[in-house]
Structure 1
């Protein structure tokens, strides 16, 4: 039977825990891990986004990447990096891994071969978060310099260009360091991007045009964000111990003629660069506009949603993990396996490797292969990156290639 599990880590406890989603029962723990927020990622099987094979984390105190398999609690592999990685992300199809550093550099490796495809200066200051778009056509980076850059992956992997790559978009409307980034579902022409910052705002962007759609103002710093798969609402975890729920659509009275019996229609919130005050939204009589989850005793550090988006998971600074029913706003479960802040939180379908390890049948399922990550790009010209491309046309009639997957 398919079931969901929760994977979480902390900066103070050197373990990664895998828990049962509903009960909080501990399945297994991975030792020797100490990573920052946004420095842990899941590696899916190539072409199988819903099947997780490996875990990769960048160590906070060393220039190392640790690879974990679900079949043992020790480190499976260790990769030495050219410098310490503080932000890490894996593409949705499991083809590439990107890492950011304290000095603003970005590294990109091909997972199947270990080739270091590109090293470039992405920002002036520390990289806080990296995200791939859902079609893996672009990499989005957020930094302590308050900037958000959108990089086309094809331009980063172009061997014929030796110059430092230029971002496709540079969003500089935030005034303080970026705390989190979320990318919507869809291809480059239909995706929206949500960013959060220490400046008490979340900004919604149209990736096709690069335009700022809406700015949401909060009464506190928003440290983490998550959006439901249908993009009807998003949740922001604040430093004031609250989780803010903001609806992206609202009801509006329809004063004109309508063939239906209802006098209300659903319209999108914001747009055209407008500003929405979340305090006013949450205090409105229309409960569809937003709400607040109360229960944590310390600031929120990370958020995740269940597979069907009916339950919300939240981790806090004091190591508490809570499960909420989104409809009723009630807390269902409260448990803790850490003494310090929860920094990374993921939910996914229980891997078959995890079931095998519990039943001592690990030898029946081979561990997903992975190649040693290279430390320099000198071998790059001698090896070919195994990718396949499809052409898409952007809104400005510019034709670009989009990475589709492994050959």
Structure 2
């Protein structure tokens, strides 16, 4: 399996065999299963630094984390204030966002600290996504609202003043079922799908809607391929429809008729399509549905390559890059995740968050303390030093400045003589 680049991570609502499972998409072979975490809820499965799997329980107020090469979850119990309705992890693996009904909680995974919570939705949040640079996240809910947040702003100004979303979209008339963010940070495109049959595509940098696609069926999931040339939407009655963004119509609002839908349709599911994912090469589509099947499609021909049956409604299905550690259980992945705190950490104490990190330097088991500071681009670590070391560094800095000054004066003097 060393040549396997991408694998599929799936979960269903049955909790009969495992909580979630990894599959080889080329052969449909079962690779590794993750047990003991209950059935994950829809859109509550994520990957931390390609080393850990995290899921939110469908019925209990809990999260579960597994090392990517272990069947058993870590022993830490991550207790929440309620059943999670959406979970996501920042690309750098530092922050975890958990939605409990209409409230979004911001946790720091390394310390378990709750850095903030925001409540601007009127009904339950259905999906949360990070931009690929981790600087912003987008939430959507049953109230039809789509909100764009700055992560740094949410953490810094919490408890000091009212937190406002960077953008607030209320274009959907019914609950938003899914959203997807493309590549490019704040210059990316993102799209939403709703029960109101509309798929809307936005420009994140300007906060403007570029295209409103209206289909003939209620939409339950959405994805854009890696080339950002095609959008795929899953429907409540089974078919998956594709639309070429590069051949977009002249009008902002476009109604896709039945003929056009059938021309670019993927037919195979019999019930609601709950999740979609596209491979890195944009050649393969992965879909999961309430008919208890995961189907792997060839996008260009729209043909089924493989069907992977499950025991319940598919709640999550994603392509991920498979690390080598997944296929070697002898590799020990250290899992240091403290329990989540129940109360928000005061803003003035966030700079005091401290994490111990083992560092092998000459002595194999030497440990040094690192102070962790929250920032927009993740965590920065600085080694704590003694007063003697500070004095020594100041003297060395002063000596280097004097040497630099002497060299500068020598060069200027010689240049003036030559001229």
Give your verdict on TM over 0.5. Answer: yes
How far apart, CA to CA, are the structure 1 residues paired with 2:220 and 2:158?
A: 39
RMSD of aligned C-alpha atoms? 2.0
Flag structure 2 segments of 5+ consecutive residues without an equivalent. 354-371, 381-419
In structure 2, which of residues 209, 224, 229 is the aligned counterpart of residue 227 of structure 1? 224
Question: Which residues of 2 match residues 1-400 of structure 1 at below 5 A?
Answer: 1-3=2-4, 4-14=6-16, 15-32=19-36, 33-44=38-49, 52-76=50-74, 77-102=76-101, 104-159=102-157, 162-188=160-186, 190-250=187-247, 269-270=248-249, 274-279=252-257, 282=260, 291-336=264-309, 338-357=310-329, 361=330, 364-378=331-345, 381-384=348-351, 386=372
1:108-151 deviation digits (Å, cap 9, x = unpaired): 01122221110121311101000111121211110111111111
Residue 328 of structure 2 aligns to a residue whose secondary structure is: helix
Structure 2 CA distance for partners of 1:84 and 1:297, relative to 1, 3 Å: closer
Contact 1:318 1:339 survives alignment (8 Å): no
Q: Distance in 1 between matches of 2:373 and 2:132?
A: 17
Aligned in 2, Cα 1:160/1:59: closer, same or farther, shift over 3 Å? closer
DSSP 3-state at the match of 2:156: coil
Which range moved further: 213-222 or 290-299?
Answer: 290-299
More strand by share: 1
Contact 2:159/2:347 (<8 A) preserved:
no
Higher relative contact order (CA closer than 8 Å, sequence separation 6+): 1
Change (3 A) 1:280 1:241: closer
1:383 & 1:161 partners in 2: Cα distance? 12
The separation in 1 between residues aligned to 2:258 and 2:333, in whole angstroms, is 54
Greater radius of gyration (CA): 2
1:238 deviates by 0.8
TM-score, scaled relative to structure 2: 0.80
**Partner SS, residue 354 of structure 1:** helix
Q: Return the alpha-carbon distance in structure 2 between the equivalents of residues 120 and 388 of structure 1.
A: 18
Match of 1:253 in 2: none
Distance verdict in 2 for CA 1:163–1:311, change over 3 Å: same
Task: Assess if the C-alpha contact under 8 Å between 2:86 and 2:98 holds in 1.
Answer: yes
> What is the TM-score with the length of structure 1 in the denominator?
0.82
- Tell me if the contact between 2:103 and 2:121 (Cα under 8 Å) persists in the aligned partners: yes
Distance 1:275 1:387, change over 3 A: farther
What is the CA–CA distance in structure 1 between the aligned matches of 2:304 and 2:345, rounded to whole Å?
53
Q: Structure 1 or 2: larger helix share?
A: 2
Task: List gaps (5 residues or longer) in structure 1.
Answer: 45-51, 251-268, 285-289, 390-402
Q: Deviations over 1:248-286 (max 9, x none)?
A: 012xxxxxxxxxxxxxxxxxx147x711222267269xx
8 Å Cα contact 1:35-1:58 kept in structure 2: yes
Question: 1:404 maps to which residue?
Answer: 377
CA contact (8 A) 1:88 1:100 kept: yes
**Is the contact between residue 387 and residue 404 of structure 1 (CA under 8 Å) also seen in structure 2?**
no
d(CA) in 1 for partners of 2:333 and 2:93? 17
Deviations for 1:211-259, whole angstroms, at most 9, x for unmatched residues?
Answer: 1111000111111111111100111111221110110012xxxxxxxxx
CA distance in 2, matches of 1:368, 1:106: 25
